Chains A and B, each alone.
Chain A
Amino acid sequence: MSYWFRNDNRLPQERLAAASYVIVGMITLLLFGFWKLQVIDSDKYGQLAERNRVRSIPIIAPRGRMLDRDGRVLVDNYPSFSVILLRDDMIAVEKSLPAIADGLGLSLDDLHEQLSNTDKLPKFQPIVIKPEATPADVAFIESHRADIPLLEMLMVHRRRYLPDGFMSHASGYVGEVSEQQIEASNGKLRPGDFGGKSGLERQYNDLLVGTDGMRRVIVNSVGKEVGRLSQQEPIPGKQIQLTIDYDLQQVAEDALAGKKGAIVAMDPQSGEILAFASRPAPDPNDFAIRVSKEEWQRLNEDEDHPLMNRVIQAQLAPGSVFKIVMATAMLESKVPPENFTAFCPGYANFYGRMFKCHIYGKGGHGVVGIHSAIVHSCDVFFYNVGMRMGIDRISKYAKMLGLGSKTGIDLPSEEPGLVPSEEWVQRVFHHKWYPGSTISVAIGQGAVTATPLQLAYMIGGVANAGVFKQPHLLKDAQNVGEVKVPLAEDTVEQVTQGMYGVVNEGGTGGASRLEGIEFCGKSGSAQVMSNTQRQRMGKDKKFKDNAWFVGYAPRRNPEIVVSVLIEEGEHGGAVGGPIARDIIKTYYEKKDKKTHGQTTVEYKEKPFNFGDGSEKKEKPTPKSAPKPEEAAAVVVPAAAKKATEN
């Protein structure tokens, strides 16, 4: 034992006392710190704790489905997961971005772009960085909850359309809402939300779209849900029933396969659209997720214009179909009088120019009155009528019968077509109307254009004795518009008899006769360009005529009118006629079955598969030549046959 410590008991009492004061001071300072946090700023931190604890997760409301007139599903939803990025903490986002890009297989540049695009949105709004998450993405997010707590899965409902662009121009498609829409929506829309971009999806977006719900959950520090606070159920969007008949639509789609054109079938009594097809058509399932810039550009620059809804946007010369307007105008205005006849040697001269009849080179129609002029589509007769009538009278009746203005169908972006007049030429071209132009307009060439829907509307209205119903696709549409054009009974009778003759009296639509059905119609083969334009482009270049056929049945007060346009189809009667016939035939087959009470059973048995192309292949393609006996046996039961033969 050493004695280094002995005799040393002088303690520095003052300095020890100072240590006590230091201790008291230190504890007091710490208490002040707690006082500030716990008493002064308590509310602020309480809110922060609540924000930590509670996470609001939207529950996306499913969009309303679209059904056909028999209740079959045309547009449906399927559940899918989107990856959303929480952006409250931008520094952490920037830091984790490379890891996120790597884990989800996204390009870092894309992510940066998405972030800068959504820069203006409030930071608490998460953004969708990857729709349609794969199981690998889900695994990545779950396993990185602790180190990348910025990712969240969101269950969404994706649109499922029938495959291969079936009815896609009517249904339209949905897409992510744009930033402008989000800003304009007053917080109702979030980035990544879907809205109708075209077609019915856009037209009835407000009906189809539901109200998203919200789930408030308690999450722990690694983002795991540990409890549920409250749940506000989503309100699903309304299901809408369309006037479309799936079976007729199928026939129409098949008829247009590989072609450019449009078909629209409508019930003129009600304005209900039964079939609505335009080809080529994009497959909206491709847009249901996210369409790439390249794909979008490709679609827009495609020479065949797949994005064009030909039924309501193809403004083309109606060709001889326009002769129905001419005939109606002549009979109504009595200019020239009803018994007017013309001699057709296959051509005629007006204003020092020769105008050919379509029969030119194969003789002529001879002496033609209004009935045979319609039946055989004699151009010379209508040249003469047009010359006598003058452009303004033609224009007046064309407009009266619905051309030159939108039909008012419940679809966005309908085009009005064009009915030329003196006033129009003056306004647009600043010169006087050339009387020679009237001759072309008289046979539906020249400046006059119409859409397939307008022609169906026009013919249906005339055959319906001047009652024009607003075309529509929504089954229980309220306030369907109606235009009554005062047409004389005799006018309607003569014009419809003419159209009956087109099909049934060896006219231009003779190939399309239907046994037991009063199938009527009018063909048209319209030049894409006027002869002068064609000369300017060079004679070598071939432009095939567009084929038109507008058919309907029965002759008076028709139940169905079908407008067929086949671009570059050349011969309306031969190409368009059979298509209209097949649709009308299918319509009657169904109708007859229905009256026997079989249809519903058969529909239910029929498997209705989405995304399975095989079904389509098995379907029999429309027969090119009808077999009357077979048709009679299967299609028209005795009672119905009797009725139609009267």
Chain B
Amino acid sequence: MIKDAPGARDYDWWLLAIMAAICTLGVIEIYSATHGSALVGMHTRQLRWLAIGIVLMFVFSRLDYHLILDQAPILYIVGIAALVAVLLIGHSRFGAKRWIPFLGEFFQVSELVKLIIIIVLARFFAEVRTDELSLQDLIKAGLLVGVPLVLILKQPDLGTALVLMPMLVVGAFLAGLQWKHAAVIVIVGVLMLPVGWHFLKPYQKERVTSFLHPEEDAKGSGYQVLQSKIAVGSGGFWGRGFGNGSQNQLGYIPVRYSDFIMSAWAEEQGFKGVLLALGLYMALLLRLVQNAQRAKDRAGMFLVMGVTAALGFHVLVNVAMVIGAMPITGIPLPLMSYGGSATLFVFLAIGLVMNVRLRRFVN
């Protein structure tokens, strides 16, 4: 019935080309940001992660996504167990317990959990047979996301926890979310904001307040945003040139090779470079939506759109943070920011998309 025999031409080579372009920008900027510092050589490590990611992506794409979806309940349990394990025995870095050692590297379990939630939600929404999403199903989906979300918040990792939300929102929307439900959720959400405030860690509160009142915290996270904005703004239209951004080269941009890489890119390459980078991201996301539109079944579509939601949210929140339009949440820019777990997540997610695409004609 399901023949596992897709050919090389069935891969989305356009999508891969866009990804390759984005990764190239990332590696260039990582090199520029670190070549003169103690972090020199980071770009080669990023290249290694990219290589591993590509291999994993192809491997992952060969495995029929229906088989993966079949195992969704088990994956979910494994994911929750891993999150609990991190909280119990995980490795603390930068004041948060997010890492577990694996094959000599430290991995962020929450990145894997993001992938699992995409799969679990796809399975869940694919099983909803009605045209309109019932409140009952909506609540079930909410609970499915809620448990890992709370566990990730406990690490604490607000950024990753937040990424689960657009997956749920987009999934529910495509599964036929009713407007009245959406309205109720929005209202309840707004009302719950002050309650949620109490659960934020002090540094998270500080980030939010400094976002709202940057002038009161010029040396804390407000300082970071300000420096990022200075970098972006001083780049002008044409940019200050590769390796010439003073904000980047002198270290004024916080974590310029990772979360704030867009800031470094914008400084050195200017608005024209931003246009190129954001153009590539838009192409990437639209290409993903196109893949969803051409999926063979709803399950495949939900998978692809889950990935789209996650990546789109990453791009939005990261880039908005760089220009000071959103508070700092510690979400990396997919494919450009340096990072092992985050890069591997993106490639595995794209692997899922390829998986769906490869099987669009198979019956």
User: Which A residues contact B (CB, under 8 angstroms)?
Assistant: 1-2, 4-5, 8-13, 15-17, 19-20, 23-24, 26-27, 30-31, 33-35, 37-39, 41-42, 44-46, 48-50, 52-53, 89, 91-92, 95, 218-222, 226
Contacts and interface: CB of A to CB of B under 8 A. Distances in A.
A16 B323 contact: no
Contacts of B250: 52-53, 218-221, 226
Contact of B298 (A10, A20, A23, A220): A10
Contact of B278 (A2, A30, A38, A221): A30
Contacts of A220: 250-252
Interface string B279-298: 10110011001001101111
B344 interface: no
24 contacts: A5-B297, A8-B297, A19-B292, A19-B308, A23-B282, A24-B282, A37-B233, A37-B266, A38-B233, A41-B233, A42-B237, A45-B231, A46-B234, A48-B230, A48-B234, A49-B230, A52-B252, A53-B247, A89-B219, A91-B218, A91-B219, A95-B219, A220-B251, A221-B251
B271 A38 contact: yes
B234 A45 contact: yes
Given A24-B282, A42-B237, A52-B230, A9 B298 contact: yes
A39 B237 contact: yes
A95 B252 CA distance: 20
B232 A38 contact: yes
Interface stretch (B38-46, B63-71, B196-204): B63-71
Contacts of B123: 4
Interface in B260-307: 266, 270-271, 274-275, 278-279, 281-282, 285-286, 289, 292-293, 295-299, 301, 305
A554 B2 CA distance: 131
B236 interface: yes
A49 B234 contact: yes
Contacts of B170: 19
Interface stretch (B21-29, B99-107, B178-186, B312-320): B312-320
Shortest beta-carbon contacts, A-B, top 3:
A45-B233, A49-B234, A221-B251
Nearest to A20: B289
A46 B236 contact: yes
Contact of A91 (B66, B216, B247, B281): B216
A30 B301 CA distance: 27
A interface: dominant SS: helix
Contacts of B312: 23, 26
Interface residues of B, number: 60
Contacts of B270: 38
Contact of A23 (B217, B286, B325): B286
Nearest to A218: B250
Nearest to B173: A15
Given A16-B174, A53-B246, A9 B296 contact: yes
Given A42-B237, A49-B246, A31 B289 contact: no
A311 B281 CA distance: 86
Interface of B: 66-67, 69-70, 123, 126-127, 129, 170, 173-174, 176, 216-219, 227, 229-237, 246-247, 250-252, 266, 270-271, 274-275, 278-279, 281-282, 285-286, 289, 292-293, 295-299, 301, 305, 308, 312, 315-316, 319-320, 323, 325
A348 to B, nearest CB: 86
B interface: dominant SS: helix
A24 B319 CA distance: 15
Contacts of B323: 30, 33-34, 37
A5 B174 contact: no
A23 B266 contact: no
Given A33-B323, A53-B246, A5 B274 contact: no
A45 B176 contact: no
B174 A221 contact: no
Contacts of A218: 246, 250
A35 B320 CA distance: 13
A15 B266 contact: no
B237 A49 contact: no
Contact of B69 (A5, A52, A53): A5
Contacts of A39: 236-237, 271
A31 B246 CA distance: 23
A92 B234 contact: no
Nearest to B274: A34
A113 B268 CA distance: 44
Contacts of B296: 9
A492 B208 CA distance: 93
Most B C-beta atoms less than 10 A away, residue of A2, A20, A89, A226: A20
Given A41-B233, A44-B233, A5 B298 contact: yes
Given A5-B299, A20-B286, A27-B278, A38 B236 contact: yes
A11 B251 CA distance: 48
A364 to B, nearest CB: 89
A62 B123 CA distance: 80
A221 B319 contact: no
Most B C-beta atoms less than 10 A away, residue of A42, A44, A218, A222: A42
A636 B229 CA distance: 84
A294 B289 CA distance: 79
Nearest to B253: A221
A12 B175 CA distance: 8
A48 B233 CA distance: 9
B286 A11 contact: no
Given A23-B289, A37-B232, A38-B266, A16 B237 contact: no
Contact of A1 (B66, B227, B231): B66
A5 B233 contact: no
A221 B252 contact: yes
Contacts of A45: 229-234
Nearest to A6: B297
Given A1-B70, A23-B312, A89-B218, A11 B275 contact: no
A219 B252 CA distance: 10
B230 A27 contact: no
A12 B319 CA distance: 29
Given A37-B323, A38-B266, A53-B250, A2 B70 contact: yes
A1 to B, nearest CB: 7
B237 A92 contact: no
Contacts of A27: 278-279, 281-282, 285
A7 to B, nearest CB: 9
A391 B285 CA distance: 110
A24 B232 contact: no
A41 B289 CA distance: 35
B329 to A, nearest CB: 16
Contacts of B174: 12, 15-16, 19
A500 B66 CA distance: 129
Given A8-B126, A19-B174, A42-B237, 17 more contacts: A8-B298, A16-B305, A19-B170, A19-B289, A23-B285, A26-B315, A27-B285, A30-B323, A33-B319, A33-B323, A34-B323, A38-B237, A38-B270, A45-B232, A49-B231, A49-B252, A89-B219
Contacts of A222: 251
A5 B218 contact: no
A596 B298 CA distance: 117
A30 B319 contact: yes
B126 A4 contact: yes
B289 A16 contact: yes
Contacts of A13: 293
A76 B292 CA distance: 83
Nearest to B316: A26
Nearest to A4: B127
Nearest to B250: A220
Contacts of A2: 70
